[in-house]
Amino acid sequence: MIGRDLLAIEDLERGDIERILETAAHMQEVGLREVKKVPTLRGRTIVNLFFESSTRTRTSFEIAGKRLSADVINFTPSSSSLTKAESILDTAKTLDAMAPDAVVVRHQVAGVPKRIADELTSPVINAGDGAHEHPTQALLDLFTVLQEKGRIDGLTVAIVGDIAHSRVARSNIYGFLKMGAEVRLAAPPTMIPAAVETLGVKAFTSLREALDGADVVMMLRIQTERLSGAFFPSVREYSALFGLDREKLQYAKDDAIVMHPGPVNRGVELAHELADHRPSVILDQVRNGVALRMAVLYLLAGRPPETKRGTPEARRGTPETGSAKVSETRGGKS
C-alpha cells in the first residue's frame, strides 16, 4: 500500500505503482477537457518547496495541483544550510506549522526529502533529491511506456548515459524492475555506479549491446560542464560513443520508443532529428507528467487530515472528480 509520503520508488510495491498509474489514467481525461479543472482538492494547500531550481518539474506540479483546485504555493529557499542561517529542518518545521496538505520537495542533496518527511505531519512528495531518486519522473515514464506499449512486463528497457549522477536512472531502475521489465544500462565505465548490478540490472559499456532488442531507449541528460574532461574526455567522444541517432537506434527493436527526461542537449546525447518526432515520446512524457502528478497529489493530499500521520485507517472518501472517476480498488494505506 502506498504510504504517507512518496519518497522513493524503492519503497513501493508493484501494487502501489499500479494503483498510481490507474489513477493517472483517470486524471489524464481532465487534461483533455475544455476547462481542465476539477474540484477534488478544493480547500487543500500544496507547497512546492524547491531548494534546487527546476522550472519543468515545479511547473508540472503546480499545474497538477491547480487542475485539482488546490491552492499551490511556491516556496524557494535559497539553497542549503551552508549559505543560509536557517537549517532545512527549521524550514520544514516552519512550513509544517502552517499546516499544508502536502509538501513537494526538491533538493540538490540526496536524503533531504526523507529527513524533512521525518519532521513533518503533512505528506511529503520527493520531486528529486541529489542523485538519489525522482519518483514522479519514473512513474510518468512507466505511465508513458504503458500507454505506448500496452504493458511493461517482459519489455527490455535500456537506460543510457550518466547513471552515476542520475536520480532519474535510479528511480527508473527500481520502477521498471518492479513492473517486470528487463533493465539494461549503458555508459562509459566512469559513469556506472559501484555495484549497480546487485540491483538486478545489466550494465554495458557498449551502446550497441545494451540496445540490442530493446523496446524502450531512455537517454539521460549529460551535464557537459561538470563532467567533460573528468568523467569522459570530451563531448565529441561521448557523443560519438553514447549519443543516440537514427543509425544507432537501428540496434533496438523496430518499434522501439525513445525517451528523455529533459531538457535535451541536442546533438550531445540525442541527435536533433530524434528529439522532435516519433519514435521519440519526449513531449508525451511531459504531458503525462501532469496527469501522473495529479494522481499522486490526489492520493496523498486528498486524504482526510486524520490519516496523514500514518494512522492505519483506510481512506474511503468519495472522490469529487466529476466525470473522472477515480478507482479505489485498494483503498487506503497501511
Nearer to another protein, 115 or 330 (CB): 115
Q: What is the binding site for another protein (CB under 8 A)?
A: 10, 80-82, 87-89, 107, 109-112, 114-115, 129-133, 167, 170, 193-196, 198-199
CB 305 within 8 A of CB 11: no
Q: Are the C-beta atoms of residues 102 and 47 closer than 8 Å to each other? A: yes
Helices 282-301 and 55-67 pack at an angle, to 10 degrees, of 50
Q: Name which of 107 and 333 has its Cβ closer to another protein.
A: 107
CB of 144 to another protein, least distance (A): 23
Q: How far is the CB of 165 from another protein (least distance, A)?
A: 9
* Residue that is written with C-alpha cell 493530499 in the block: 301
Measured from the CB of residue 164, what is the shortest distance to another protein in angstroms? 8
Grid coordinates 550518466 are at which residue?
162
- Of the pair 133, 148, the CB lying nearest another protein is at 133
Compute CA distances 211 → 87, 95, 197, 299, whole Å. Answer: 45, 46, 17, 36
| Spatial distance between the Cα atoms of 74 and 136, rounded to a whole number of angstroms | 18
Q: Closest separation between CB of residue 16 and another protein, Å? A: 19
Measure the CA–CA gap between 100 and 276, rounded to whole angstroms: 39
**Nearest CB to another protein, comparing residues 19 and 106:** 106
Least distance between another protein and beta carbon 80 (Å) = 6
Give the C-alpha separation, 135 to 125, whole Å: 9
C-beta closer to another protein: residue 115 or 149: 115
Label the pairing between strands 156-160 and 71-75: unpaired
> Are 165 and 131 in contact, with CB atoms under 8 Å apart?
yes
The 3-state DSSP class for residue 238 equals: helix
CB of 267 to another protein, least distance (A): 28
Q: CB-wise, 39 or 111, nearer to another protein? A: 111
Q: What angle, 0 to 180 degrees and rounded to 10, lies between the N-to-C axes of helices 135-149 and 282-301?
A: 120
